[in-house]
Amino acid sequence: MDDNKTILSQAGTERRSGGLMELVRTVVIAGVLALSVRTVLFEPFNIPSGSMIPTLQVGDYVWVAKYSYGYSHFALPGAPNLFEGRIFNSMPHRGDVAVFRFTKDTSIDYIKRIVGLPGDTVQMREGKLYLNGTEVPREPEGDYAAIDEHRTRMEGDRYREILPGSGGRGPVAHDILKLTDEGGKNDTPEYVVPPGYFFAMGDNRDDSADSRFMGDEPQDLGFVPMENLVGQAKWIFMSVDNAHPFWQVWYWPSEIRWGRLFMGVH
């Protein structure tokens, strides 16, 4: 009888041990798969500022396709400096909304629209964008108001801008917000994008620290190296207004911008 109890006890212990090992194995496999997807395919990013209004709102969460431009070491978790350049390199296109590493601090992610490619000339004149000496057409869409990351209300004019295509693609139509046509950001020198770089701008043209700022100030972006590209923003999978403190859970359903869920980023 005692021998039978001992055998049953050992069997129970082995089952528990086997169950624990199976759970650990499942967790490890799930972790490896999630890390692989995040490294190779898609990575989620949230939008913390209003520099891409009206295309992206503060509180949007987007899926970024990391395969769009190939892979630099910035595509890897922690961005270990294991190699230089890009593997499976693919040139971005004008009009792409891209995530990339900030030029002054590569631990920081930026998201902007690519408006200039190597060899392009880019200039702002009286608030209008000129590309390769030609004014980029834009169509007025009326008044527009938005809330930035400081909960400040911004009121301006919304336009549909049409960037010329690149790489055999057609023109890219997207919306921009203009608050003023004055100031240095609206009258710039003519910039020539050097080889291996691109010129990025925010769709909120008067509230964006972007490639128009070429100085040595900590916030100046300048031309962005292709190596800094992380991926192309594809879809909005969540959007939250964040008007109330996080602990006020009763506001959560009303703060979700249901109409923005699963929108494509254009």
Contacts 24+ apart (CB under 8 A), 56-59: 56/97, 56/111, 56/203, 56/233, 56/236, 56/265, 57/146, 57/239, 57/257, 57/260, 58/147, 58/148, 58/149, 58/242, 59/239, 59/240, 59/241, 59/242, 59/257
Does the CA dihedral 124-128-129-131 come out positive or negative? negative
Inter-CA distances, 85 with 96, 111, 114, 156, Å: 20, 20, 19, 40
**CB within 8 A of 249, min separation 6: which ones?**
none
CA triplet 55, 61, 64: central angle to 5 degrees?
Answer: 85
Q: Burial letters for 195-207: b for 16+ Cβ neighbours within 10 Å, e otherwise?
A: eebbbbbbbbbbb
Find the catalytic residue in 49, 51, 68, 166: 51
Where are the alpha helices (H) located in the chain, listed in sequence order? 2-40, 252-255
Which residues fall within 8 angstroms of residue 108, CB to CB, at 6 or more apart? 101, 102
Spot the catalytic one: 66, 112, 128, 185.
112
Look at residue 216 and give its three-state secondary structure: coil
Three-state SS at 60:
strand
**DSSP designation for 119:** T
Q: Is 112 annotated as catalytic? A: yes
In the numeric block, which tokens belong to residue 79? 């961005």
128 is catalytic: no
Q: Give the active site residues.
A: 51, 112
